[in-house]
């Protein structure tokens, strides 16, 4: 079985079409792979940790797609959420804050290299 880690870095605060396009493409791939019954790890990293609080809003254009793939979410990077002021928003969304790898100067991050070691393809958006 194919395994894919999808890492979303784009920043909703940028307000750009590019950020929204990256979001949609990440969710599209997650949806397509889920339909094929493949293993998916959807990860919010960097400024992308701001997305969960936006995506829980029913009026967001990607809300329905988010709901369709949210069971594939591994979590949001704790250290990134701290840096980008998104920890409360992530908690409010119900997405887990993950700090599995100690990195100096942070409260910990999601270990992307772990997915590589476990044979996942890693896609970044």
The hierarchical CATH code for the domain 3-124 is 3.40.1260.10
- How large is the greatest C-alpha to C-alpha distance in the chain, in angstroms? 40
Cβ contact 99:107 at 8 Å: yes
Task: Identify the residue with better confidence: 110 or 1.
Answer: 110
Average pLDDT, the chain: 96
What's the whole-model pTM score? 0.95
Given a cut of 80, whether residue 1 has pLDDT beyond it is no
Give, as one character, the DSSP assignment of residue 74. E
Structure confidence at residue 105 as a pLDDT band (50, 70, 90): confident
Task: State residue 24's pLDDT score.
Answer: 97
Residue % of the chain over a pLDDT of 70: 99
């Amino acid at each position: 079985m194919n395994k894919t880690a999808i890492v979303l870095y784009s920043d909703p605060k940028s307000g750009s079409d590019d950020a929204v396009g990256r979001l949609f493409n990440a969710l599209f791939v997650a949806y397509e792979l889920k339909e094929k019954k493949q293993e998916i790890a959807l990860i919010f990293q960097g400024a992308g940790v701001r997305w969960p609080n936006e995506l829980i809003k029913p009026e967001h254009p990607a809300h329905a797609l988010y709901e369709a793939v949210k069971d594939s979410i591994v979590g949001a990077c704790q250290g990134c959420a701290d840096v980008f002021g998104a920890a409360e928003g992530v908690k409010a969304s119900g997405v887990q804050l993950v700090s599995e790898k100690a990195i100096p100067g942070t409260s910990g991050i999601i270990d992307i290299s772990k997915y590589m070691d476990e044979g996942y393809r890693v896609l970044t958006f």
